[in-house]
Amino acid sequence: MSDLPIGPEVDPTPRPLPARLELRGTHVALEPLHLRHAPELWDAAQGADASWAYLGYGPFPSAAAMAKHVAEFAAQHDPMAWAVRPLATGVVSGWLTLLDIQPKNAAIELGHIWFAPRMQRTPASTEAMFLLLRLAADDLGYRRLVWKCNALNAPSRRAAERLGFTFEGLFRAHYVVKGRRRDSAWFSILDDEWPRCRDALLAWLDPANFSPAGAPRRSVREIREARAVSDR
């Protein structure tokens, strides 16, 4: 037997693939993306050209162009996309996906996140991301949750850290996006880190954490740090 370090043993069982099922929370419903969502998504995208700056597609010049993209996007299995319907409005206002799905490695990424400005920085946006992370980690048993984004995308980097992802480093000149070089920032949550992240997000999403005016009483970071102290 070699004395070389070879890493800890893990459960090598391949994880299940995600299924196209609706997910529902307190603030949002995630519906498997479908062409029927295209009109609402087109309406949500009006006046929101800047929201596409770091994505490899968009903004779309017409409703027909949006519908074509949605139809093609919805037909893919990796990435697998969900439309986001905030329950407060009942109107689809974005999408997000699970992608780079690696059952044998128990690794999966949350990405292709596009939220209309009216949905950004709301409980619905946080819960939409949380529902897919919980699906991947708790229901399907993935060991590594991944987030990567354009290194220049400061809001995305802040969102990753807020959700509990750990920064891993940069892939320099990783992609060419819309004719420009993209350096990618990589983040991850591992299976032994997920319970702490999950519990902090659940506590933040609890209606008791919000004032009558709808403002959160404590941030996710504050909740996570307080729980880390109490666990010592």
pLDDT tens readout for residues 109-136: 999 999 999 999 999 999 999 999 999 9
118 CB-contact burial (10 Å; exposed 0-12 / middle 13-18 / buried 19+) = middle
> What distance in Å separates the CA atoms of residue 58 and residue 27, rounded to the nearest whole number?
27
| 64 domain residue, yes or no | yes
| 7 domain residue, yes or no | no
Query: Residue 232 has what pLDDT?
Result: 67
Residue pLDDT, tens place only, 48-68: 999 999 999 999 999 999 999
Q: For residue 127, give both structure tokens.
A: 């819960």
Which amino acid, residue 7?
G
> What distance in Å separates the CA atoms of residue 97 and residue 23, rounded to the nearest whole number?
13
| 6 domain residue, yes or no | no
State the average pLDDT for the chain: 96
The count of residues in the chain is 232
Asked if pLDDT for residue 228 goes beyond 90, the answer is no
> What distance in Å separates the CA atoms of residue 110 and residue 18, rounded to the nearest whole number?
12
Domain limits at 102?
A: 23-230
| 41 domain residue, yes or no | yes
Which amino acid, residue 37?
H
Distance of CA 164 to the CA centre of its chain: 12
CATH code: domain of residue 51: 3.40.630.30
Ranges assigned E (strand) in 94-177: 94-102, 107-115, 144-150, 166-177
193 CB-contact burial (10 Å; exposed 0-12 / middle 13-18 / buried 19+) = middle
Alpha-carbon dihedral angle through residues 201, 155, 87, 66, given to the nearest 10 degrees? -140
| DSSP 8-state class, residue 74 | H
| 12 domain residue, yes or no | no
Domain tally, the chain: 1
| 1 domain residue, yes or no | no
Report helix angle 220-230 to 154-163, nearest 10.
Answer: 30
Band of pLDDT at residue 230, cut at 50, 70 and 90: confident
> What distance in Å separates the CA atoms of residue 135 and residue 133, rounded to the nearest whole number?
5
| 8 domain residue, yes or no | no
Asked if pLDDT for residue 227 goes beyond 90, the answer is no
| 4 domain residue, yes or no | no
